[in-house]
């Protein structure tokens, strides 16, 4: 699939670049861009992943480009990553189309090809965003942009829960090369585009208004009527831009609220687990240092949330050695298994999750069974994954992961 998409992209670039009009001054451009993206789905703690795009563009108005984009990205979830390909058609509208610095808004749609066990699937995508373009010289420009992409699926993060669809924030920067150089026509500002301007003859102030040339032209439908039509079109475009700007502000506020909610949730988890760690079990001797356990446990969790899985694993193993009978010993074992899973060491993760299940009492058993199923999927053991998801539904019918397990079973 990846090789086919690459070949398709190269073929498209070759056709455009060899066309007779490609060298036409300022009309066509070709570029490359890279950056990061963040998935917003059922797991709000998804980290950033890398991505790269190639594109060809065509300037169809003095302030607007139309681009065909082919890209590859990694969307990281709470338990792994999804390698996706995107094919987009987008338009960039420059708010100011003169000078070196040109702010713009972007709109577009396309398709996203994503991994969904056991193969790949395609979903439509729609996006909007903003950014700027900086002209380095007549043939080269640097750009930076941000957009948010809406999809029609809830499977990109490999976890179907609730009615909301998956989407992701896309940040890109790159360069565009214009073989023919920039157009030599007068630059335009979108806010002033095609605004009619009329000279007034001071010697005719005493004449009735209907004798003015502009009034006559409007009555006859030339060329003043055309200028009035241009004004109406300008007002429509301005209104659309204002509406898009309001939508972008709303989406930025929503993303900020989600980040704040995630931070608060992490703070509560650490606080609750620290309080639980202070409940000293009877089997620990009087000279055991409970404050030592609490401090190490908190430090290990901090390493895990910062994706320092190696350091987190080492600290959790140290706690198991020093406090094997602690009430949170099974939690330490679970975070070791989770660190293995997040490091893509699925075979080791499976062994560690089974150790969690060996504890007589543990609040992490349903979590472990659910991740066991996903780990088996990662190594191609579909039947064993099915057994794990079925076990979760049978033994823990009230678990928050039951709906996710049912979603996986429907696809197996």
DSSP per position, 18-71: TSTTTTSTTTEEEEEEEEEEEEESS-TT--EEEEEEEEEEEEEETTEEEEEEEE
Q: Are residues 217 and 147 part of one domain?
A: no
Q: For residue 225, is pLDDT > 80?
A: no
pLDDT at 40: 82
- CATH number, position 86: 2.40.160.20
Phi-psi region of 46 (alpha: psi -120 to 50; beta: other; left: phi over 0): beta
- CATH number, position 387: 1.25.40.10
pLDDT at 183: 54
330 assigned to some structural domain: yes
Q: Are residues 319 and 267 part of one domain?
A: no
218 assigned to some structural domain: yes
Most confident of the following: 80-94, 173-187, 205-219, 222-236: 80-94
Q: How far apart are the first and last CA of the chain?
A: 22
pLDDT at 191: 45
Q: For residue 189, is pLDDT > 60?
A: no
Domain stops at, among 132, 150, 177: 177
Q: Are residues 169 and 205 part of one domain?
A: no
188 assigned to some structural domain: no
3-state secondary structure of 250: helix
- 98 band by pLDDT with thresholds 50, 70 and 90: confident
Separation of alpha carbons 128 and 108, rounded Å: 7
- In sequence order, which residues have a C-beta less than 8 Å from that of residue 154 and are 6 or more positions away? 41, 42, 160, 161, 162, 164, 165, 166
Q: Are residues 366 and 232 part of one domain?
A: no
pLDDT at 220: 47
186 assigned to some structural domain: no
pLDDT at 209: 42
Q: Which domain holds residue 26?
A: 2-177
Domain stops at, among 277, 312, 327: 277
Mean pLDDT across the stretch 46-54?
90
Q: Are residues 285 and 272 part of one domain?
A: no
Q: Are 169 and 52 in contact (CB under 8 A)?
A: no
184 assigned to some structural domain: no
Counting the structural domains of the chain, the total is: 3
Q: Are 157 and 47 in contact (CB under 8 A)?
A: no
Mean pLDDT across the stretch 386-411?
94
370 assigned to some structural domain: yes
Q: Are residues 204 and 163 part of one domain?
A: no
Q: What is the average pLDDT score of the chain?
A: 79
Comparing 24-38, 91-105, 180-194, the range with the smallest average pLDDT is 180-194
Most confident of the following: 43-47, 138-142, 163-167: 138-142
pLDDT at 329: 93
**Per-residue pLDDT tens digits for 265-278:** 767 766 766 665 55
Q: Is the peptide bond before 118 cis (omega within 30 degrees of 0)?
A: yes
Domain stops at, among 177, 203, 236: 177
Q: Are residues 150 and 19 part of one domain?
A: yes
Comparing 83-87, 207-211, 365-369, the range with the smallest average pLDDT is 207-211
Q: Are residues 229 and 96 part of one domain?
A: no
Separation of alpha carbons 265 and 259, rounded Å: 10
189 assigned to some structural domain: no
The helix or strand, by DSSP H or E, that contains position 105, with its residue range, turns out to be strand 101-116
- In sequence order, which residues have a C-beta less than 8 Å from that of residue 100 and are 6 or more positions away? 134, 135, 136
Q: Are 198 and 218 in contact (CB under 8 A)?
A: no
Mean pLDDT across the stretch 311-329?
94
Strands 64-76 and 101-116 come out as: unpaired
Q: Are residues 204 and 90 part of one domain?
A: no
| Rounded alpha-carbon distances, angstroms, from residue 11 to 55, 225, 299 | 12, 45, 52
pLDDT at 366: 95
Q: Are residues 286 and 266 part of one domain?
A: no
As a whole-number percent, the residues of the chain with pLDDT over 70 amount to 71
Q: Which of 314, 291, 385, 398 is nearest to 346 (CA)?
A: 385
338 assigned to some structural domain: yes
- 203 band by pLDDT with thresholds 50, 70 and 90: very low
Q: Are residues 311 and 387 part of one domain?
A: yes
Separation of alpha carbons 373 and 396, rounded Å: 14
DSSP H helix total and E strand total for the chain: 10, 10
3-state secondary structure of 138: coil
Q: Are residues 289 and 246 part of one domain?
A: no
Separation of alpha carbons 303 and 115, rounded Å: 29
């Amino acid at each position: 699939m990846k090789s086919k998409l690459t070949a398709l992209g190269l073929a498209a670039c070759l056709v455009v670049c060899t066309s007779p009009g490609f060298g036409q001054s300022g009309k066509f451009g070709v570029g490359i861009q890279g950056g990061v993206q963040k998935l917003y789905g059922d797991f709000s703690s998804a980290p950033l992943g890398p991505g790269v795009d190639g594109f060809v563009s065509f300037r169809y108005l003095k302030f607007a480009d139309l681009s065909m984009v082919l890209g590859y990205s990694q969307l990281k979830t709470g338990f792994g990553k999804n390698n996706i390909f995107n094919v987009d058609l987008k338009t960039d509208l420059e708010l100011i189309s003169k000078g070196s610095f040109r702010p713009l808004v972007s709109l577009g749609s396309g398709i996203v090809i994503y991994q969904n066990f056991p193969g790949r699937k395609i979903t439509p995508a729609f996006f909007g965003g903003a950014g700027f373009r900086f002209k380095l010289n007549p043939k080269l420009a640097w750009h930076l942009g941000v957009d948010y992409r809406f999809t029609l699926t809830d499977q990109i993060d490999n976890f179907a829960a609730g009615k909301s669809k998956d989407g992701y924030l896309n940040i890109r920067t790159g360069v565009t090369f214009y073989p023919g150089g920039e157009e030599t026509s007068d630059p335009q500002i979108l806010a002033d585009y095609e605004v009619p301007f009329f000279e007034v003859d001071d010697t005719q102030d005493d004449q009735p208004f209907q004798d003015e040339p502009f009034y006559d032209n409007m009555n006859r439908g030339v060329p003043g009527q055309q200028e009035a039509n241009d004004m109406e079109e300008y007002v429509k475009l301005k209104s659309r831009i204002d509406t898009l700007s309001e939508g972008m502000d709303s989406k930025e506020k929503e993303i900020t609220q989600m980040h704040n909610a995630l931070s608060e949730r992490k703070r509560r988890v650490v606080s609750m687990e620290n309080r639980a760690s202070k409940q000293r079990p009877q089997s620990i001797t009087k000279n055991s240092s409970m404050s030592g356990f609490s401090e190490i446990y908190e430090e290990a969790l901090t390493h895990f949330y910062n994706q320092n899985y190696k350091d987190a694993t080492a600290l959790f193993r140290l706690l198991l050695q020093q406090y094997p009978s602690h009430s949170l010993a099974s939690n330490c074992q679970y975070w070791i298994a989770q660190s293995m899973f997040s490091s893509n060491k699925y075979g080791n993760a499976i062994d560690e999750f089974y150790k969690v299940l060996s504890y007589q009492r543990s609040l992490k058993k349903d979590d472990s069974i659910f991740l066991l199923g996903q780990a088996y999927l990662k190594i191609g053991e579909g039947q064993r994954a099915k057994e794990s998801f079925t076990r979760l539904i049978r033994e823990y019918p009230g678990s928050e992961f039951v709906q996710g397990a049912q979603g996986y079973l429907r696809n197996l």
